[in-house]
Amino acid sequence: MTTSAAVQTTTNRLTFAAIEAGQGLNAALKQPPADALRQVAFSGLRGRGGAGFSTSLKWELAAKSAGERKYVVCNADEGEPGTFKDRVILADFADLVFEGMTIGAWVIGAAHGIVYLRAEYTYLRPHLEAVLQRRRDAGLLGSAVAGQNGFAFDIAIRMGSGAYVCGEETALIESLEGQRGEPRNRPPFPIDTGFLGNPTIVNNVETFAWVTCILAKGADWFKGLGTEKSTGHKLFSVSGDCARPGVYELPMGITVAELLEEVGGEAAKAVQIGGAAGQCVPAARFDRTIAYEDIPTGGSVIVLGPQRDLLRMSRNFLEFFLEESCGQCTPCREGIPKLLEGVELLQNGRCSMTYLEELCGLGETMQQASKCGLGQSAPNALLSIVEHFQDEILGRVVAKRPPARRERTA
């Protein structure tokens, strides 16, 4: 167990700690961009932010996309409740992130990199600027990266201003362009129409760090870890009712039970995986695996002890979304308050079965019809609680009362 210097977060042994700055980049620059891309492709790396899109495919499309200016954007707008691994990576392994961005720039042919850092992490900025300067001084950023003539690349840090939705890549780009952080219609995707209309790759902090490791240690090594469809290791942010909360590097495909054992959370009655946007897994299903093919996640694991009130948690999450929805599309803007009202009714034992079913239907519509991932995932927590903890919830449902349609929040 080690402790992050900048912030007192416990971690297990991290691969990142064993990689030296420059290792991955030098390996990448020794080969043509296409070969470096092939390595990333072979490793099977998928986006570590949670959506799990193939990193190499994103990069390949951006590389092929016509455009003189291209951008590499690092999404450091970590805001999912229960996630803090990016903070640890940025504090302790910023070099790996910047190096991953540089490799990305090499692959797609970009000269500009931007780190979009959330406002809540402003205290990390001086450190990150220092690391960037050190890299510039060492020739790892600048007009000829690592002495490679014709490969110019530098990274600027741009701050967020407190908006969770900016973690959505098109909202992030909007924010970079000086707009409200409202997600765009997709297609077109950022890989052809991104920042200022230019091809742009947006990847998570952890994804970039893994790219550096893959180039440094070889794609075979990475592919050998995890499962077939979810290769490699993943960082998990573990919090809640467990003995050892912190950041854990664990192989993809690990079961929930195994993870709980590692962190000392065996007594949990449920685990919320994926943060507010994720799902609540009951103890009976702790045999499920954390992998893109089963439970996909950006790494947020909130352990819920036997005493926890799940409705309170789901209400907390909905209040979170109520604040953080961009308010652009109808299902999300108008749906979240309705779900929240529903949870309040449930808490007061004044929600009928019929209305609960109605709300679940609405939740499904939100999953299908919202414009971006925020609205699509906002109902997840509630729906999974309703599915798995019927008894706990139904205990408070009054079966015969008519649907309380006229209830309003204060």
Partner 1 sequence: MDKELQPIGSETRAPASQRSRTAELLKHAKALGKEIDVSIDGNSVTVPLGTTILEAARELRIHIPTLCFHEDLCLAGVCRICMVEIEGQRTLQSACSYPITAPIRVSTHTAKVRRARRHVLDLLLASHHGECYICTRNGHCELQALAAEYGVDLFRFGRADRPRYAIDASSHAVVRDMNKCILCRRCVRTCIDLQEVGVLEALHRGQHTKVGTFMDKPLADVVCINCGQCINRCPTGALRANDLTDEVWEAIDDPAKHVVIQTAPSPRAGIGECFGLEPGRPLTFQMNTALRRCGFDRVFDTNFAADLTIIEEGVELLLRLQRAIVERDPAAVLPQFTSCSPGWVKYLEHFFPDYLPHLSTAKSPQQMFGALIKTYYARTNRLDPKNIVTVALMPCSAKKFECNRPEMCASGFKDIDYGLTTRELAKMIREAGIDLPKLEKSDFDNPFGTATGSGVIFGATGGVMEAALRTVLELVTGQKIENFFAHADIVPLRGFEGARYAEVPITKVGPVPALVRHLFPDWNWLRGATLKVGVCHGTANAKRVMEDIRDGGRFSHCHFIEFMACPGGCLGGGGQPTPTSPAIRAARAKAIYSEDHAYSVRKSHENPAILRVYEQFLAAGPCGHESHELLHTAYTRRGKYIA
Partner 2 sequence: MLLTERERLREELLQLIGQIGRDRSALLPLLQEVQRKYCHISEYCMQVIADLLDIHPVEVHSVVSFYSFLDERPQGQFVIRLCRTATCDMAGKDHVARQLRNDLRIGFGQTTPDGKFSLDWANCLGMCDQGPAMLVNERIFTRVTPEKVHGILAECRQMFGAHATSSPKERQI
Out of 20, 177, 220, 309, name the contact with partner 1 by CB under 8 A.
Answer: 177
Among partner 2, partner 1, none, the one that 297 touches (CB under a kind-dependent 5 to 8 A) is none
Count Cβ atoms below 10 Å from residue 34 Cβ, excluding itself.
Answer: 10
Nearer to partner 2, 140 or 372 (CB): 372
Among partner 2, partner 1, none, the one that 198 touches (CB under a kind-dependent 5 to 8 A) is none
Say which residue the tokens 């205290």 belong to: 123
Beta strands 270-273 and 300-304 are: antiparallel
Six-digit token string for 275: 């943060």
Nearer to partner 1, 149 or 368 (CB): 368
Are the C-beta atoms of 227 and 84 separated by less than 8 Å? no
**331 forms part of the interface with partner 1 (CB under 8 A):** yes
Nearer to partner 1, 21 or 62 (CB): 62
Q: How far is the CB of 46 from partner 1 (least distance, A)?
A: 17
Count Cβ atoms below 10 Å from residue 32 Cβ, excluding itself.
Answer: 11
Out of 328, 377, 380, 384, name the contact with partner 1 by CB under 8 A.
Answer: 328
First-to-last CA distance in the chain? 47
Count Cβ atoms below 10 Å from residue 360 Cβ, excluding itself.
Answer: 17
The DSSP element (H or E) to which 105 belongs, if any, is helix 94-108
Nearer to partner 1, 229 or 333 (CB): 333
Nearer to partner 2, 173 or 393 (CB): 173
Q: How far is the CB of 233 from partner 1 (least distance, A)?
A: 27
Q: Which backbone phi and psi does 268 adopt, to 5 degrees?
A: -60, 145
Nearer to partner 2, 11 or 102 (CB): 11
Find all residues with CB under 8 Å of 80, minimum gap 6, and list them.
50, 164, 167, 274, 275, 276, 277, 278, 298, 300
Q: Tell me which stretch binds partner 1 (CB under 8 A): 238-246, 247-255, 257-265, 337-345.
A: 337-345
**350 forms part of the interface with partner 1 (CB under 8 A):** no
Nearer to partner 1, 240 or 335 (CB): 335
Q: Which positions touch partner 2 (CB under 8 A)?
A: 7-10, 78-84, 86-87, 118-123, 158-164, 175-181, 196, 237-241, 245-247, 272, 276, 300, 302, 308, 312-313, 316-317, 319-320, 323-324, 326
Q: Tell me which stretch binds partner 1 (CB under 8 A): 17-25, 45-53, 118-126, 186-194.
A: 186-194
**337 forms part of the interface with partner 1 (CB under 8 A):** yes
**174 forms part of the interface with partner 1 (CB under 8 A):** yes
Six-digit token string for 76: 């450091």
Q: How far is the CB of 244 from partner 2 (least distance, A)?
A: 9
3-state secondary structure of 15: helix
Find all residues with CB under 8 Å of 187, minimum gap 6, and list them.
none
Q: Tell me which stretch binds partner 1 (CB under 8 A): 41-49, 149-157, 309-317, 362-370.
A: 362-370
CA 22 to chain centroid? 26
CA distance 276 to 268: 18
Q: How far is the CB of 311 from partner 2 (least distance, A)?
A: 13
Find all residues with CB under 8 Å of 368, minimum gap 6, and list them.
376
Nearer to partner 1, 151 or 164 (CB): 164
**293 forms part of the interface with partner 1 (CB under 8 A):** no
Are the C-beta atoms of 146 and 139 separated by less than 8 Å? yes
Q: At what angle do helices 55-64 and 94-108 cross, to 10 degrees?
A: 40
Find all residues with CB under 8 Å of 94, minimum gap 6, and list them.
127, 128, 131
Instruction: Note the residues at the interface with partner 1 (CB under 8 A).
Output: 163, 165, 174, 177, 179-180, 182, 184-185, 187-188, 192-193, 197, 321-331, 333-338, 341, 358, 361-362, 365, 367-371, 376, 405-408
